[in-house]
Structure 1
Amino acid sequence: MAEHVVIVGAGHAGGSVATYLRQYGYEGQVTLVGNESAPPYQRPPLSKGWLRSEITLDDLLLKPLATYEQAGIDLRLNSVVKEVETKEKRIILEDGETIDFDKLVFATGARPRRLTLPGSELRGVIYLRDVTDAALLRSCLDASKRIVVMGGGYVGLEVAATARQLGLEVMIVEREARLLSRSASPELAARLLRIHESNGVEFRFLGDVAEIVGSEGKVSGLRFNDGERIECDVILAGIGAQPNVALLEGTGIPEERGIRVDSEGRTSHPDVYAVGDVTLRPVANFEGIFTLESVPSAIEQAKRLSCLIAQRDFPPHELPWFWSQQYDFTLQIAGLPGLADEILVRDDVSKGTFLVFHLRNGALCAAECMNSPGEFLALKKAITHGARPDEVLLADLNTPIIKVLT
């Protein structure tokens, strides 16, 4: 009987594992189980083009639906996994059906962290993770004049930019003293703050919210602990994410802020693997373990795990990278900025570009690049090769980046 790989979670990571398995020549059974009604799709556009009604669900799909049937992938949509039994090597669906596996892949992703404030159950308090959330947010924006975004992370900033482009008044409420306190340099955060302020976004930092207030079951505003009240029609809660690890209960597989895996996706169980936002993983050439909530990270993990299962040679390790689009500014980040012990900035106002270089012990470990696609590619390659550039030239606007790095 052919070996059976079952993938729990039909997002970008899970969908990529299924299709890469076939691309790499795996001939066993492949079953992809997802709890949504749509085939695997891209999530990053949900905060941008989708909200502006510029793209449809078909535009978001990773592959046309027919691709899965043609590839011999059993795609189970609208299917909720109730339990995983690693000893019996089977999963149990909510409707009672069981599916046996030889190898199991967790690609369950993460879910938005929920507000616990009084009033957080009111209509108009929205989280953004999937296309259903995005459709609700879009309909609310169409009927609203003012939105409050709780949380100054990338998703919140992208939604704020989109809402301003749609003509809404926007306020961002952030508990910390600055934007992106856990994911970007203070220099980049300050630049993004100025960009949003120039586009009319209001900010409230160190905003300690006491409650969300409403009328007739719907949001009408929020109140801070100091008594100040802010009026709004809708609230987007973007206060972080939590890994979906509930199915690990009873499996014997430990979880600590996610499922810990090695660089090929192996867990502590010899026939169970994990990929995507649910994982804690090592990154080549960086010390520690990380949760990397990004499409490039999910794709890299999917490729390496698929090679492992299909018994093919592994591709080279990839440098982590991330991106964001806000207004007409494209932000690209290569490497892991939080590990630097020195930061240099190159700010070219005439070209509208902004570069932040992160060095550790003299070597480039990350770069934050705004509207600088060519420099981003050069820096990404340089970080991969452990470049140790001349720091004076690195910050010098008159010296081309490519010359500094060669």
Structure 2
Amino acid sequence: MTTEPVFVIVGASLAGARAAETLRAEGFDGRVVLIGREPQLPYERPPLSKGYLLGKDERGKAFPHDQEWYDRQRIELRTGTVVTAVDPAAHTVTLDGGETLGYTKLLLATGSTPRTLDLPGGEGPRIHRLRTIEQSEALGATLRAGDPVVVIGAGWIGLEIAAAARTFGCDVTVVENDRAPLRHVLGDEVGTVFRALHEAHGVTFRFDTQVRELGGIGDRLTHAVLDDNTEVPASAVLIAVGITPEVELARDAGLRVDDGVVVDAALRTSDPDIYACGDVASAYHPLFHRHVRVEHWANALNGGPAAARSMLGQDVSYDRLPYFFTDQYDLGMELAGWFPRSGYDRVVFRGDPSIVEGKTPEFMVFWTRQRHVLAGMNVNIWDVQDDIQKLVRAGYSGQDVDLDRLADPSVPLDTLLAR
């Protein structure tokens, strides 16, 4: 008597849903169980700070599939369910209702949780964080009132919400304990560009400081108090100070954890029958020759299918370049590549990035080290990602480029690697 194989996916996120989809597409005929703590069907998160938040996109656009699709694919979707424990020896997961479910292979796509701040006055309906679709809806309703907003954190989410708030007519103050927005991911040179963009649209920045407490009258929030005792008007606050990977299940199960669940290039954990992908995975990247954890949408989109194929025994080496995009005001941007903090020695601009009369120009920017391209960004220029990614792959393979030609918009990108 043969036992039907059971593949369990913990995390009904985009990564988890894409993994389940790929298992069926690749011909897996066993049982697939997709478990998620949210009550919603799996959905994509970029619309939460972009089109859906702004009211440009319908709610349904965030959902790749409806319930009928999961039923047709024989994917057992268990929403509103929390996995409380993983037992690798017994090959079981325990659910919050006490049920124990056996697995043949297990995928952890548990994602991440927004970091919190322990602030006096830091709770209430006007204090927002952004991770779920319900939080996006609550934040959107707040921004539509057009009242003053304080954003704590000048990372990607913080800046996207600042742009949305200005679109709704809110006075916006961004408080950041670093000296420039996005400096920890883009460096000073490009962080300055984003500062100029937001200041041109009326955003006020307070750098090298923190919010000490939030104050109000009764239940009504009125202001934020900074470290220097400055009071900044605020009828609402968004806390956007990064995310923390949800590694508790993996750690309690004895899996290797180090800034995420550590996996190899095939997305296998330290247990041969357990895999991880998406925000939670610290994956060995064959091109970078080190483990990296990528928090962006494209990693969920592509990592889920890669993990599924690996679970099926296929030869997988997940070497996708980290990819990110953002839309802020009239700026549309794509970024591909990776570099450690302070890991570059020169930033090369291809075109003038200056914000003139509030308008964002067309330009590209490249982060390089010893004439090797590590990452590239295209701003308001499209259909160049393939060429940018070729430059990045060549750079990490040791091939240099002429930086003067890289900076020259008249030189086609696809000729820079020609010998």
TM-score by length of 1: 0.95
Q: CA deviation at 1:314?
A: 3.6
Q: Is the 8 A contact 2:126 2:142 kept in 1?
A: yes
Q: 1:367 aligns with which of 353, 376, 381?
A: 376
Q: CA deviation at 1:352?
A: 1.5
Segments of structure 2 that go 5 or more residues without pairing to the other structure are 355-359
Q: 1:341 aligns with which of 341, 345, 353?
A: 345
Distance in 2, matches of 1:195 and 1:147, equals 18
Partner SS for 2:150: strand
Q: Does 1:382 align with 2:391?
A: yes
Q: CA deviation at 1:312?
A: 3.4
Q: CA deviation at 1:340?
A: 2.3
| Partner AA of 1:274 in structure 2 | A
Cα distance change of structure 1 residues 82 and 315 upon mapping to structure 2, 3 Å threshold: closer
Aligned to 1:324: 326
Q: Does 1:267 align with 2:260?
A: no
Q: Is the 8 A contact 2:275 2:311 kept in 1?
A: no
Aligned to 2:409: 397
Q: CA deviation at 1:316?
A: 7.0
Q: CA deviation at 1:256?
A: 2.0
Q: CA deviation at 1:405?
A: 4.1
Moved over 6 A (4+): none
Partner SS for 2:290: strand
Q: CA deviation at 1:195?
A: 0.9
Distance in 2, matches of 1:49 and 1:207, equals 31
Cα distance change of structure 1 residues 39 and 404 upon mapping to structure 2, 3 Å threshold: same
Q: 1:172 aligns with which of 167, 171, 174?
A: 174
Distance in 1, matches of 2:88 and 2:57, equals 41
| Partner AA of 1:377 in structure 2 | D
| Partner AA of 2:366 in structure 1 | F
Within 5 Å, which residues of 2 pair with 1:128-139? 128-139=130-141
Q: Does 1:358 align with 2:360?
A: no
Q: CA deviation at 1:313?
A: 4.5
Q: Is the 8 A contact 1:123 1:219 kept in 2?
A: no
Partner SS for 1:108: coil
Q: Does 1:119 align with 2:131?
A: no
Within 5 Å, which residues of 2 pair with 1:145-164? 145-164=147-166
Distance in 1, matches of 2:73 and 2:241, equals 39
Q: CA deviation at 1:171?
A: 1.0
| Partner AA of 2:85 in structure 1 | E
Within 5 Å, which residues of 2 pair with 1:239-254? 239-254=241-256
Q: Using the aligned pairs only, state the percent identity.
A: 32
Within 5 Å, which residues of 2 pair with 1:7-406? 7-314=9-316, 317-338=319-340, 339-348=343-352, 352-386=361-395, 387-406=399-418
Q: CA RMSD in A?
A: 1.9
TM-score by length of 2: 0.92
Q: Is the 8 A contact 2:251 2:257 kept in 1?
A: no
Q: CA deviation at 1:375?
A: 3.2
| Partner AA of 2:120 in structure 1 | P
Note the alpha carbon deviations across 1:125-169, whole angstroms, 9 max, x for none: 110001011111112112341111100000111111111111111
Q: Is the 8 A contact 1:263 1:301 kept in 2?
A: no
Q: CA deviation at 1:88?
A: 2.1
Q: CA deviation at 1:379?
A: 1.2
Cα distance change of structure 1 residues 369 and 186 upon mapping to structure 2, 3 Å threshold: farther
Note the alpha carbon deviations across 1:208-263, whole angstroms, 9 max, x for none: 22211122234221111211101111000000111112223531113222110111
Q: Is the 8 A contact 2:366 2:377 kept in 1?
A: yes
| Partner AA of 1:271 in structure 2 | D
Q: CA deviation at 1:308?
A: 1.6
Partner SS for 1:183: helix
| Partner AA of 1:112 in structure 2 | P
Partner SS for 1:186: helix
Distance in 1, matches of 2:366 and 2:227, equals 39
Aligned to 2:357: none
Distance in 2, matches of 1:210 and 1:123, equals 19
Distance in 2, matches of 1:264 and 1:313, equals 8
Distance in 1, matches of 2:16 and 2:52, equals 22
Distance in 2, matches of 1:318 and 1:296, equals 9
Q: Is the 8 A contact 1:20 1:306 kept in 2?
A: yes
Q: Is the 8 A contact 2:265 2:318 kept in 1?
A: no
Q: CA deviation at 1:178?
A: 0.7
| Partner AA of 1:400 in structure 2 | P
Q: CA deviation at 1:399?
A: 2.7
Distance in 2, matches of 1:25 and 1:136, equals 41
